[in-house]
Amino acid sequence: MPRIDPQTRRPLFLARLAGSCFTLALVVGLAVAPIAASEAAEEAQANPAESKADDAADAQRYEDLSLFTHVLSLVRASYVEPVDEHLLLRGAVRGLVQELDPHSSFMDIDAYTEMQVDTRGEFHGLGIEITKNQDEAIEVVAPIDGTPASRAGIQARDRIVSICPTERPEDWTEDCRPTQDMSLFEAVSLMRGRKDTEITIYIFREGFDVPKPFTIRRDVVKVASVEGKQLEDDIGYVRIRSFQENTANELRAELDGLRAESGGKPAGLLLDLRDNPGGLLDQAVQVADEWLSDGLIVYTQGRDDSQRQDYPARSDRGRNGYPIVVLVNAGSASASEIVAGALQDHKRALVLGVNTFGKGSVQTVFPLEDGSALRLTTALYYTPLGRSIQEVGIAPDIIVQAAESPVVASRRRVRERDLQGHFTHDEADPDAAAAGEEEGAEDASVEAAARPDVQLSRAVEVLKSWSYFDRLSGGAPIASGAASGAASALPDDAPGE
């Protein structure tokens, strides 16, 4: 039986490698039954223009495949050194997918295994969240509490300038290697390893004259995706780090604990989605469903009109009766934006912070026969009001900048629109009005008070003031400090991982 494409429900026609010359033979058109050929001829007579276009596409496809095999043959026969044909073909597959968009990728066995580990939330390593900008050293987002990195004194905003693994990779000639030219995946692979083995990383932070070595012993790291605590005046606080396989269950447990601690119902809730890169779509839907009882949470739209899928709220959910503020920043992406957008569209919560990352696409992982996988963008997602946040992000109802040092503040954070080959907002939502520059919105409303966490403090103040929620139904952004300046700088169609 042929394999079936889950999107089109049609048989997949595979390109196969045959013989020592690596001649590519398309299964398309081979051994076609006479009745199928007859049907194709009748269709061509009925739609001559469409048939001509299909013939031209087929001809171009054969020319491209001929070019590929010619180049491959030349490399095999003429390159200065013998080549690993397996690596060459894997590289060709990887390059093919990289031509699509920044979130589609071919994952080899190691990368696919790493992705599965991330969604499970348990691994052997140091216990740090890291990020990286192109041509810069690895930066620590935060150490995870109770992990080897936390015990060793690693801090948020530390720069990991070089990594010195105990077991040096075979292709290394040096003991340590700078992270500036590493990929994020390579750095993660080096820092993870067997329990009780050691690794040395060189850290540079503000106040250091030179990078300093930190030798850390790896251990089991269990990443709880949800953590919560009670703040002043029975205000609950819940932070979701990422959307893993068990995030919704962890959230329910935290909410039940906060409800018991507050004596039945919290006075308000802070839902912290800052620096949450996203994760599993079904978990984002279940999280938003905790506070919604009807209507859409999100819907996804594939290439064809028939490929729309709605994710409605369930009537047995909906924790109501208390106000909610959702904290977001430039690191809130994908699934985080789904939750924030759903609660914002349903007027169930105010969103506070700065514009989010702006990733409005959905990826599907297709496992392959050899243990690798294809991560492919298969749909775009839209908020309950039909808005796409692709490229523009979610505009907060209350704009509050984080208090950062001048050095950190000078670094512009990478967003979806900065990624090469990304879908534009116009492609995702052609009928929307042109989106404005969100950077101006952020600059227009800088919180003056220098608190440890300005956004969190401001959110507590908001929950104490019901007047903010009275204004929620009006839909006008509320600026922190200079209301008119911040509001005028917001994108006209500021839409709601």
| Helix, strand or coil, per DSSP, at residue 91 | helix
Percentage of the residues of the chain whose pLDDT score is greater than 70: 73
Q: Of the ranges 194-203, 280-289, 312-321, 341-350, which one carries the lowest mean pLDDT score? A: 312-321
For residues 130 and 201, what is the distance between their CA atoms, to the nearest angstrom? Answer: 13
Q: What is the CA radius of gyration of the chain?
A: 26
DSSP 12-54: ---EEEETTTTEEEE-TTTT--HHHHHHHHHHHHH-HHHHHHH
Check if the beta carbon of residue 329 is closer than 8 Å to that of residue 276: no
Q: Which parts of 71-176 are beta strand (E)?
A: 105-107, 122-125, 128-131, 138-143, 159-165
> DSSP H helical segments within 262-349, as ranges?
281-289, 335-345
Q: Is 282 exposed, middle or buried (0-12, 13-18, 19+ CB in 10 A)?
A: middle
The residues facing 104 across adjacent strands are none
Please name the CATH architecture into which domain 226-488 falls.
Alpha-Beta Complex (3.90)
Higher pLDDT, residue 264 or 276: 276
pLDDT band at 394 (very low <50, low <70, confident <90, very high): very high
Helices (H) and strands (E) in the chain, counts: 15, 22
Nearest of 164, 168, 139, 165 to residue 154 by alpha carbon: 139
Domains 122-222 and 226-488 share a fold: no
Please name the CATH architecture into which domain 122-222 falls.
Roll (2.30)
Check if the beta carbon of residue 301 is closer than 8 Å to that of residue 307: yes
Angle at 68 between CA 65 and CA 72, to 5 degrees: 140
Instruction: State how far the alpha carbon of 85 is from the alpha carbons of 12, 20, 99, 103, 447, in Å.
Output: 25, 11, 21, 26, 57
For residues 445 and 462, what is the distance between their CA atoms, to the nearest angstrom? Answer: 16
Q: What pLDDT is stored for residue 123 in this prediction?
A: 80
For residues 331 and 86, what is the distance between their CA atoms, to the nearest angstrom? Answer: 37
φ, ψ at 52 (rounded to 5°): -65, -40
Check if the beta carbon of residue 485 is closer than 8 Å to that of residue 440: no
Check if the beta carbon of residue 334 is closer than 8 Å to that of residue 359: yes
Q: What pLDDT is stored for residue 170 in this prediction?
A: 77
Q: What pLDDT is stored for residue 492 in this prediction?
A: 30
Q: Which residues are catalytic?
A: 334, 345, 359
Q: Is the dihedral of CA 401, 407, 410, 415 positive or negative?
A: negative
**pLDDT for 53-93, tens place per residue?**
777 778 888 898 999 999 999 999 999 999 999 989 999 99
**pLDDT for 469-482, tens place per residue?**
555 555 545 444 33
Domain ranges across the chain: 27-98, 122-222, 226-488
pLDDT band at 317 (very low <50, low <70, confident <90, very high): low
pLDDT band at 300 (very low <50, low <70, confident <90, very high): very high
The residues facing 239 across adjacent strands are 227, 272
**Mean pLDDT value across residues 202-217:** 94
**Mean pLDDT value across residues 363-386:** 93
73's enclosing H/E stretch is helix 48-78
**pLDDT for 212-261, tens place per residue?**
999 999 998 887 889 999 998 889 999 998 899 899 999 999 999 999 98
Q: What pLDDT is stored for residue 8 in this prediction?
A: 42
Spatial neighbors of 53 by CB under 8 A, at least 6 apart, are none
| Helix, strand or coil, per DSSP, at residue 142 | strand
Q: Which parts of 177-234 are beta strand (E)?
A: 177-178, 198-204, 212-217, 219-222, 226-230
Q: Of the ranges 68-82, 125-139, 336-350, which one carries the lowest mean pLDDT score? A: 125-139
φ, ψ at 227 (rounded to 5°): -140, 150
Tokens of 201: 């990383």
pTM above 0.85, yes or no: no
